[in-house]
Amino acid sequence: MGEETNPLGSILQMATGLLASRALWATAHFKIADHVTDQGIGLDDLAEKTGILPDRLKRLMHVLVTFGMFRVLPGDLVVSTPVSQMLRSDSEKSVRAWIESIIGNEHYEALGSIDAALREPTTAFEARHGMLSFDYYTAHPGAGALFAQAMSDFTFPIDASISAYDFPKFDTAIDIGGSMGTLLNLILARYRDARGIVFDLPDVVERAGAAWAAEGGAARLSGIGGNFFEAVPAGGDLYLLKMILHDWNDDQCVEILKNIHTAINPGGTVCIIEILVPEDFSPHPGWMADFNMMALTGGRERNRGEYESLLEQGGFRLKRDTVLAPTSFSLLEAVPE
C-alpha cells in the first residue's frame, strides 16, 4: 500500500466489501440473472418472477448497476451484461452456484465467528456449526450438493488449463477428492486409451454416479467412495490432488501423500494443483484464499518450498511446477522417491 493511498478510502473499501458481497449473493440466490436478457425485462416483471418486492429490487439494482452487473434503460428496463451472464444458471461459464454456496449460507454464517478462529486453534466453521465443514455437507445433503456444483462451476476454467497439461504417460488416473468427475472427463477426452477413477466421500461418489447415469454414463470413468486419511485406490499411474491439500494442516497433508505413495504404481506421478503464494508479504490473490481456509477448513495456502517439504515427508520428490495460465493456480508434478 503506497503512501499516496487514501487511508480512509482503503478502510471504507474493505468495510463496504461486505455489502457488495451480500448484494452479489442475493443476485445469485434469487437467480435474478436467469430472467434478464439482452432485450431486457421490466423491473416490475423481474420483481414478480424473482419474488422480490419491487421497491427493494430497485434499490438492489442501484448497487448492481454500480458494479456493472446490469444496465437499466429508461422506463426501468433491466438489460443483461457480460457480468450478469456469468450468474445465469444455464451459462457454460456460470458461477452462480459458487456465489450462493461459498459466499453465503453456512459459509457466511461461519465467518461471523472469525474471532474464534483468531483466538483459538479451531475454525470459524466449527465454532458456528459444531462440526467440520465436510462433515456438515454429509449431514446436510442439500448444502453438499450445492457445494459440489459450486466447486465444479468455479473450477471449470482451472480444469480446462489442467486438461491441456502434458501429463507423463499413464493408463489409470485417480482424482483424489474428484467430486463430480469434471476434471477427469476433460483429461480422458485427450487421453483416449486411459481410464479414470474419482475417489471421494461415499455420498459424493453416489451423487456423482447418479449424475453420470442421468447423462448416459461417463466413458472410462468410475467412482470409489472412501476416506483419503485411511487409504486411496491402488494401481494408479497418475494421482491428482486439485485444491485438496489447502484444506488441511501439514500433518494431514503428509498423511494423504503417504497413502498415495503406498498406492501409486512404480514410475507414477502425483500432480498437485494449488495456488502458490509468495514467501514474503507481496500482494497476491492467494492471501484472501488463505484467510478463507483459516476460517472454514483449518487448512492454508502454501508457497513452493512448503509444498516441496510436504512432498518429501510424504515420500515424493518435486520435479517441476508450472503456472496454469490464465489462472492463478500452479501444477506441481512429483514422483515417488
**Cell representation of residue 190:** 485427450
Cα–chain center distance at 193: 29
Q: Which 3 state secondary structure label does DSSP give 110?
A: helix
Pairing mode of beta strands 316-323, 269-275: unpaired
> H helices within the chain, ranges in order?
7-15, 17-29, 43-50, 54-66, 82-85, 96-102, 105-111, 114-119, 124-129, 133-139, 141-154, 156-163, 182-190, 202-214, 250-263, 286-296, 304-314
Where does residue 147 fall: left (phi above 0), alpha (psi -120 to 50 degrees), or beta otherwise? Answer: alpha
CB count, 10 Å around CB of 210? Answer: 10
What backbone torsions phi and psi does residue 41 show, to the nearest 5 degrees?
A: -145, 145
Contact 45, 32 (CB under 8 A): no
Contact 116, 122 (CB under 8 A): yes
**Cell representation of residue 268:** 507414477
Q: Residue 159 and residue 183: Cα distance in Å, rounded?
A: 5
CB count, 10 Å around CB of 112? Answer: 11
Alpha-carbon torsion angle 134, 139, 153, 207, nearest 10: 110
Q: Residue 120 and residue 182: Cα distance in Å, rounded?
A: 37
246 flagged as catalytic: yes
Catalytic position from the list 129, 246, 261, 284? 246
Active site residues: 246
